[in-house]
Chain A
Amino acid sequence: MRKILVGLSWGWLLVFALIPLLMLFVVSFFHRGVSEFFVVGFTLENYIRLFDPIYFTVFFKSVVLALVTTVFCLLLGYPFAYFMASYGKSARSYLMILVIIPFWTSSLIRTYATMLILRTNGLLNTILLKFGIISEPLEILYTEWAVYIGMVYTLLPFMILPLYSAVEKLDRQYLQAASDLGASPWQTFIRVTLPLTLPGIIAGSLLVFLPALGLFYIPDILGGAKSLVVGSFIKNQFLAARNWPFGAAISVFLCLMMGAGIWLYLWVKKRVSPEEARS
């Protein structure tokens, strides 16, 4: 029995996870092929090319996009999680389901629906024009704003859930103690609440930041052809430019960046709550 269970799980993961990832790593050192996908050989040129300003800009823009998305999600999600945790048990689980449902529905369909709202003759403009808030329709679709709205919209639940579980665990007696000792609500928030919910903030930020780096269809659909992010950049190298070794090198670099992010998270977590990290 033990052999079957271990063999099945290890066998599958070996063939369909470890070997493909290792192959990708190996391909990133190959030469580009003319008629085939790659030519076996060793070169570092794919990695050197990454530092070409043209490609580096794509990386930089993707990181900025992911960071801004993370910050917006945090700013919108924190009050939500905080307010949510202040309700009674039944209201909380009700709110929880409401946050989870969008996560269970196709994000592609929801992105498409966002497009319907944001386009020039879409719902948002129609409403704003009717109420006389604007006189000219806003051009949001196919701009960076649309990409940010779409990203925040898709990833917000990933921020809210870990934040909520951090805020929920917060011992309210500490807040009481702080205010008894004369701290203003703002001081209590900065000095007590924020540090105690830091693990939730970091976990949520990671859950938003990592997918935000790789998602390519949201910038593709909402940003039009103008926004090239690292995800679609990799996609193009594999499907359009047919330069697999370079595409593989970009992927390896992307994974390294994400690995650094995760390492930072674990490091901060250890510092913030040493007892929890040890258990």
Chain B
Amino acid sequence: MMELVRKAYLSFILLFLYAPILILIAYSFNSGTYSTEWEGFTLDWYKSLAKSSDLLEITFNSFLLAFLAATGATIVGTAAAIALKRYQFLGKKAMQGLLFALLMSPDVVMGIALLVLFVALRMDLGFFTLLLSHITFGIPFVIVTVMGRITSLDENLTQAASDLGASEFQTLHKVILPLLWPAVLSGWLLAFTLSMDDVIISFFVSGPDFEILPLRIYSMVRLGVKPEINALCTILFILTMAIVFTSRKLVGDEE
């Protein structure tokens, strides 16, 4: 009896979490344009998506942005994580506090703060402002991910490296980074998905000449969504699943 209740409850919550995603996938194959009734299977939306160069270009923009932003955030974030772990430096406590504030501050506040900065610097809103912003909000997540692994790093290894005459750079390059690799990679993936998903910060720092997918979907949702979007979302969902499982496998193999 208890077992039944348990299974039923878990299924109910999982259904709640997955129903919207499943509906979206189903609609992407539905031949009715705006109706919610099932009117037969079709691949038309995928075909017209393939022809809609506009949507594909925006999707490409989003991928490019997420790729560069994740890479930037991973470089700065990993540097920060190693610096925080290995060195004593001026303002270390302040940096930790700032990172905590960055992690906790609402996206809308981060978005307008960056907008104020870019306006003060007289930068045109567009690709570069988006990239700088996306790198910034990815950094604390990379640090948290990499920090988790650094703390379990055996200090004897780095000690041994420097005892054997390795320079600080060599220790970093030959010992620390290879050991941190899985965490760095999952930090990158986290920054990548966060960048792909972000609506709020992008909303403030984007300009008309570089459109990205979340903002296009946001404006579409309010004005009326083309069925091609369902097809695009389905493809993106499957891609995300593939990324999640690959990253879990990568990290899982290490454990």
Contacts and interface: CB of A to CB of B under 8 A. Distances in A.
Interface of A: 1-2, 4-6, 8-10, 12-13, 16-21, 23-24, 27, 37, 76, 79-80, 83-84, 86, 95, 97-102, 104-117, 119, 121-123, 126, 153, 156-157, 210-211, 213-217, 220-221, 231, 234-235, 238-239, 244, 247-248, 251, 254-255, 258, 262
A104 to B, nearest CB: 5
A79 B9 contact: yes
A108 B222 contact: no
A-B complex: 8 closest residue pairs judged by Cβ atoms: A214-B106, A9-B80, A113-B20, A20-B113, A1-B168, A20-B117, A5-B83, A113-B24
Contacts of A84: 10
A34 to B, nearest CB: 16
Interface string B60-87: 0000000000000001110110111011
19 contacts: A2-B83, A2-B89, A9-B79, A12-B76, A12-B135, A16-B135, A17-B98, A21-B105, A24-B113, A101-B241, A104-B244, A106-B233, A107-B197, A107-B199, A113-B20, A117-B19, A211-B107, A238-B115, A251-B109
A110 B104 contact: no
Assign chain B's interface to a size class. Answer: 35 or more
Given A121-B36, A217-B200, A234-B112, A104 B83 contact: no
Interface string B200-241: 100110000000001001100110010001000100110011
B45 interface: no
A74 to B, nearest CB: 13
Nearest to B170: A1
B117 to A, nearest CB: 4
Contacts of B27: 116
Contacts of A10: 89, 91, 95
A80 B9 contact: yes
B1 interface: no
A9 B218 CA distance: 33
Contacts, number: 214
Contacts of A104: 193, 240, 243-244
Contact of B117 (A16, A106, A126): A16
Nearest to B20: A113
Given A13-B139, A18-B98, A27-B116, A6 B199 contact: no
B250 interface: no
B93 to A, nearest CB: 12
A31 to B, nearest CB: 15
A12 B83 contact: no
Nearest to A96: B248
Interface string B101-123: 11011111110111111011000
B217 A5 contact: no
Nearest to A8: B79
A36 B41 CA distance: 54
Contact of B104 (A76, A107, A217, A262): A262
A19 B217 contact: no
B43 interface: no
Given A156-B13, A255-B105, 4 more contacts: A79-B9, A106-B214, A123-B36, A153-B16
B217 A13 contact: no
B109 A1 contact: no
